[in-house]
Structure 1
Amino acid sequence: MTTRTWFITGVNSGFGRELAEQLLSRGDRVAGTVRRPDSVKDLQETYAESFWLGHLDVTDVPRIREVVDAAFADLGRIDVVVINAGYGLFGAAEEVSDEQVQHQIATNLVGAIQTARAALPHLRTQGSGRIIQISSVAGLAAHPGASLYHAGKWGVEGFMEALAQEVAPFNIGVTLVEPGGARTAFANGSLQLGEPLAAYDGTPAAMVRAFRNGPPPLPGDPAKIAARVIDSVDEEPAPLRLVLGGDSYAAVTAALRARLAQVEPQQGTAAETSS
């Protein structure tokens, strides 16, 4: 088993926490970031020699560069950068506030882009590396009541897919992780809901209001998902996407087939607009 050094944003809970625990327990080094340092005190105490901690809110772009630069400087080399920090914002587009919109995009999209950009000069200099973006089935399949969450996830999908082609000449791989519903803190506390509007009562967008009473039973096992992400780093070339969970596979394949079904009948009319 190859020992590696990892940089992971958001190691206090969810997939970030699961990844950190598995990696540290097997002997890898982890540079983790959190908004509240006291939230990972146990990891600091248990893995004092192999756990590096950075205080970071990914909406603070200058701070992203400071923390990434410090991690590379202190650890010498980082093999894998995992962009994990994020949260869910649900409700119809009209139901969320301007402030919620701005913060969602700043965290889930701009924060991810800037973390990757901060790491790239270091990865190019060392001549190799892997960037892993924790995305979601919501990055490939859309549902009413999640328009703003989809906006961030679909945006990061396009960015990372193009980035993978840009950095391949530098021996840097990029992987998008597409988990379905999983039993993480994301579903049990780290999500926000818009303020309900009566106009949307009884519409498809209103189904997300049920999250106020807790999420439905979710099939995804965070430990198994994290283990699969870790194993993917041994694959060459880097898989562009990891679809994890039967629910994710079903939703993604259905969405892609539906998209093709919408586009393919337009082949003739599309050609009519070409000179």
Structure 2
Amino acid sequence: MGQINNVTEFIFWGLSQNLEVEEVCFVVFSVFYTVILLGNLLIMLTVCLSNLFQSPLYFFLNYLSFVDICYSSVTAPKMIVDLLAKNKRISYMGCMLQLFGVHFFDCTEIFILTVMAYDRYVAICKPLHYMAIMDRGRCCKMLLGTWVGGFLHSIIQVALIVQLPFCGPNEIDHYFCDIHPVLKLACTDTYVVGVVVTANSGTIALGSFVILLISYSIILVSLRKQSAEGRRKALSTCGSHIAVVIIFFAPCTFMYMRPDTTFSEDKMVAVFYTIITPMLNPLIYTLRNAEVKKVMKKLWGRKVF
């Protein structure tokens, strides 16, 4: 790099400077992370080992669970270990990789949620053509699109940060490397980079959110023509989707739909979308879904449930 870049590592301030709070957080987040791993793995195993995998909805749900595991694993293990560590350090390279991972999996998840909304739209509004429209080939192409989209978004974000000079201080008031806190440490004017970063993340978050709102509105309107039973079934799957979308997009929009500033609440909001949401997804999708519960009972035996 042509510029002065004598920062080889960053130091996190972490979630709290209070030791007792950190110890409590250590226990709580260790439990949360375990639930994320077990809950999402259970969904993946259930979908893959049963005939649910043939259904486009569960084909995508399987990958949503996989992305949730990857997404929380980019930040949670390091944060949990750091809660008990005196020095919360991360190398410059580690920081850039973490930044890439967070944005890659975050953006892929946004796209998968959007594709799942499209799947529900086709299932409810064009039921007779559902299997023709959502055939396996098209589902695979859509899935590939979500990964490619996530990769492109993330590589742009990292490319913008990597070319900035960092000459100290190197303390990040956060528990992982995110765009806004890292931008604050660059020893050059980052206004333009900040605008591009916000435009990149903001367009994706807001654009997808608007598409989701429109598709669910169309679904809800078209449900009026259906029988009471059909309406109840459709609402139960759509209800869980809408819950996940709101829980996921509200904090994301707060974080990335604004100019390059950092707020003291950022860490709490970040905890929400890096740990709470991946933990709630499996719960929402299994507890609200009769089909998944039925398959789980069949697969994992009556003893467990």
Normalized against structure 2, the TM-score is what?
Answer: 0.27
Q: Larger Cα Rg: Structure 1 or Structure 2?
A: 2
Compare relative contact order (CA 8 Å, sep 6+) and give the higher one, 1 or 2. Answer: 2
Normalized against structure 1, the TM-score is what?
Answer: 0.29
The structure with more helix, counted as a fraction of residues: 2
The structure with more strand, counted as a fraction of residues: 1
